[in-house]
Structure 1
Amino acid sequence: MTHVSTPELLVLHAVRLQGVADDQQVARRFRLDPAVTKELLLDYQAFGWITWSEFAGIGGWSLMATGRAENERRLAAELELVAGTETVRDTFRAFLPLNERLQLACTQWQLRPTDDDPHAFNDHNDPAWDRRVITELTALAEQLGPLAETLSGLLDRFQGYRTRFVTALERVQAGDTGWVDRTNVDSCHKVWFELHEDLIATLGLGRV
């Protein structure tokens, strides 16, 4: 049976995964009770684990170094509890070559080299070029499936990554191409980046 994480872990982890997030975004990430989420966020602020900042009228919580360390301590304890270290490590090893392909696909979405400029901006006027990128994203979605299933079978908090990736991809296929790599929506790149962060946080690694 998959292990369900505590709200205390999930609130802190949601802040890490999202980078900067307000109360509602933190609660929504793992479908937590908003009142419980708010109380925990204020506790974590008092502990010096998270901080609130605002820019241009938009504010959010982010992790302090102490909060990052506490997050990784809790994740490590949870992983030991479920005896899942080797499973997650093996899954991460399988994920890494897919991650390289995702990064290349996103680069090719943003850039289309020419004879004169190897870093030319992709103006998306070459349908064949863009179709190749979307085909690669579709293949990655299929290969992500078994990895996501393995992770979510161990820890419930890994639920939803493939579904979110496929949902973004379907929007791309329907013509809303910003869902490849926009940062202000749950795009293919944003979902993938979050999964990468989730894996390295769970294993206590640096980003690779």
Structure 2
Amino acid sequence: MLDPYQLTLHSLTLKQLATAEQLAEVTGQDLAELEAGLEKAVAAGEVMAAKGKYMITPKGREVLDGVYPQAFTALRGTADVTDAMNAFETGVNKQVLSLTTDWQTKEIGGERVPNDHADADYDGKILDKLSRVVDKTAKVLAPVIALDPLVDRFLDRIRDALTRAEGGETDYVSGVRVDSVHTVWFQMHEHLLRMTGRERPE
């Protein structure tokens, strides 16, 4: 697994321009520890800082590319993890992407139009389906979660976003300016790909 400094660098591959507080929300790291890691990374030229936000540099990405194979050897050599990732890519990941499209648009008269979220029943059915897919994802990724609890943290954050969406905050399904289901799912997927050494499917 990644040590705290490496995890700080890694967090910037998941949320690419972020404050220290936002990165701590992603990883669950102690804020002071994370800030110390960022300061060290900036001094090493592995992270850029501007106006209170941080971004990983090509040098930082190069460091991580050298770290991942060793840090995640146990994951990459496990058949259960490979099977779980195959099931994730071909099943729940596609389902979430499809449901996100259904949330953003709806079919009227044979055409797809933007969803104005005026139909509570339509939205409710999608939220219910998303909730079931998230529960299924926890089961699909169980072998990965057993080796890396950060994946479980992503799923908890996705559930939190769903709860807010169910309370009427519609941006929390696919909004890009908040930690929506779609945003956190994308972060989780990127984390899984980096751990397992896979490429993002086309």
Give the TM-score normalised by structure 2. 0.85
- The unaligned stretches of length 5 or more in structure 2 are none
Aligned partner letter, 1:67: G
Relative contact order (alpha carbons < 8 A, sep ≥ 6): 1 or 2 greater?
1
Q: Distance in 2 between matches of 1:79 and 1:92?
A: 14
Q: Deviations over 1:22-43 (max 9, x none)?
A: 1222234333333332232122
**Residue 105 (structure 2) pairs with residue 108 (structure 1):** no
Partners in 2 of 1:161 and 1:33 — Cα distance?
Answer: 17
Q: Work out whether residues 113 and 120 of structure 1, in 8 Å CA contact, stay in contact via their aligned partners in 2.
A: yes
Give secondary structure in 1 for the equivalent of 2:55: strand
SS, match of residue 113 in structure 1: strand
Q: Unaligned regions of 5+ residues in structure 1, if any? A: none
Instruction: State the match for 2:63 in structure 1.
Output: 70
User: What amino acid maps onto 1:110 in structure 2?
Assistant: Q
Secondary structure of 1:51's aligned partner = strand
Alpha-carbon distance, 1:107 to partner: 1.0
What's the counterpart of residue 31 of structure 1?
28
Write out aligned runs for 1:157-172 (5 A).
157-172=150-165
State the alpha-carbon separation in 2 of the partners of residues 28 and 83 from structure 1. 24
Q: Deviations over 1:31-73 (max 9, x none)?
A: 333333223212222333222245xxxx421222332232233
Distance 2:119 2:22 in 1: 37
RMSD: 2.3
The number of residue pairs the alignment matches comes to 199
Deviation at 1:91, TM superposition (A): 2.0
Contact 1:88 1:151 in 2 (8 A): yes
Give runs of aligned pairs for residues 52-63 of structure 1, distance below 5 A: 52-54=49-51, 59-63=52-56
Q: Say yes or no: does 1:122 pair with 2:115.
A: yes
